[in-house]
A = this chain, B = another copy of it.
Amino acid sequence: MNPNCTQKLQCYFYQLSWAAFLELEVYKQKMSLWPSNIHLQDYSEPNESWSPEMRQLYDQYIALCEVRTDGGEVKTGPWQKLPSYNRTLKHGIVAAQRPKTIDPRARLFTRNVEEKGAAFEYVVFMNDQERRCVCVFQSGHLLEGPPGYVHAGAVATMFSTVTTTLSMLFGRVLTANLNLNFRSPVPLGSVSLIHSAVDKVEGRKIFVTCRMTSIDESKLYTDATALFLSGKLGHVFGTKSV
């Protein structure tokens, strides 16, 4: 596997290749073209809305991101925490080139509410060696479906987010299928775990499995399979460069 996978994944929400990221750095540093209204806040950092359970799980996985060898040396662990922003860096480049064609108000769907704890609070940890990831998710009061429970669409949104993040181990991808089995409703305001793993890869097709459970994993809320297509997707999005 490409050793730059983790770095590439850290750019996931930018929807950028690593080369394009460096290109953007040139824009930012030398040309001052970075739109001033875009702040690169990492929304997956702990905040005061997080419940003790959420914080405990975060700390548990953070502890796995670094390992100390017998010699006392600190090394990168099997897990990596991925940052999460509220829009794509792509806008940075495109907006500089075509400022009138991009809506500067656009925000990533899962990070479109500024109020902490009100909507999606989540953090994704990646284990690229084992081609799997885990997401710690706390639902806010704005995600309601049935009274007191999370909307099935909000559950689907988290599955889409987590499985897409994982499949981006293989570069740019497009969601082709998402098949969700809702086993039990998710209480609004609760914390849950979302585990996802790459099942198999066949040519451009990446098959992923995913399940959402209670934090002790005793209760299965939803499970799903997802299919992604990797490779050049410019023809799909109407651009030549990506």
Interface residues of A (CB under 8 A from B): 15, 87-88, 90-91, 94, 102-103, 105-110, 112-113, 118-119, 141-154, 156-161, 164, 174-182, 184-185, 188-189, 236-237
Q: Which of B105, B151, B179 contacts A157 (CB 8 A)?
A: B151
Q: Which residues of B contact A102 (CB under 8 A)?
A: 147-148
In the complex formed, the residue of B with least CB distance to A120 is B153
Copies in the complex: 2
With A106-B144, A141-B107 in contact, do A237 and B182 touch (Cβ < 8 Å)? no
Question: SS class of chain A's interface: helix, strand, loop or mixed?
Answer: mixed
Q: Which residues of B contact A178 (CB under 8 A)?
A: 152, 156, 179-180, 182
Give the distance to chain B from A42, nearest Cβ to Cβ, in Å: 18
| A178 CA to B181 CA, complexed, in Å | 7
In the complex formed, the residue of B with least CB distance to A146 is B15
Contact yes or no, B236 A106, CB < 8 A? no
| A236 CA to B145 CA, complexed, in Å | 14
| A112 CA to B151 CA, complexed, in Å | 12
